[in-house]
Amino acid sequence: MKRAVVVFSGGQDSTTCLVQALQQYDEVHCVTFDYGQRHREEIIVAAELANKLGAVAHKVLDVTLLNELAISSLTRDSIPVPHYTPDASGLPSTFVPGRNILFLTLASIYAYQVDAEAVITGVCETDFSGYPDCRDAFVKALNHAVELGMARQVRFETPLMWLNKAETWALADHWQSLTLIREETLTCYNGKRGDGCGECAACHLRARGLAEYQQDADTVKASLYKKTGLR
């Protein structure tokens, strides 16, 4: 039996990964992390979607110690979430230091427990906010370290790594889930479901990608299929 663990936040990217994983694996587990994030709605949305889509299990892990260590606008109410600015440089205040190091490591331990062969995460290097722990080199390095540390093979899968946001929407559409992902996921840094606040960087990337896909769906789908081999 093929099993996978999806690092699941209930956002556009991780939900797209979950939808695809449910087509490719016999058993899919979801792991959501409570790290004292700014909006508890994220955890509620993740639970609702994991149940609705048919994950075999949904585990919420308490890692609020990260909140004590990682200073970010996503972990401190006193730091405002910045509006999107096209000329922003440097790491944004929404970067949570060590978040994916912790999440992927703990998801790997859970994968060990349930005998899953893969840990799936929706990180992306093509259309992202400049977070260093979303890069392909980081994911591969941590994957190698985890395998050495557990003396067991576990494959980190990053289905969105080389897709832009328009192609991610096309992938959702390929799995007949575009409407669900548009209306029921929570990507917004300000905690608003669906199309979100329209002002933060996460909402901007999401909206821009959707507009690009809607403007030329055939071209975007062709690019997606070339990159992924899907048909």
Q: Please, what is the Cα angle at 74 between 69 and 76, to 5 degrees?
A: 60
pLDDT score at 64 = 84
Q: pLDDT digits over 156-208, tens only?
A: 999 999 999 999 999 999 999 999 999 999 999 889 999 999 988 889 999 99
pLDDT score at 97 = 80
Q: pLDDT digits over 20-46, tens only?
A: 999 999 999 999 999 888 788 999 999
Q: How confident is the model at residue 66 (pLDDT cuts 50, 70, 90)?
A: confident
pTM for this prediction: 0.93
Torsion of CA 76, 185, 33, 98, to 10 degrees: -60
- In angstroms, the CA 172 to CA 59 distance is 24
pLDDT score at 126 = 82
Which residue has tokens 């994030």?
37
pLDDT at 120 over 70: yes
Whether 188 and 32 have beta carbons less than 8 Å apart is answered as: no
pLDDT score at 70 = 63
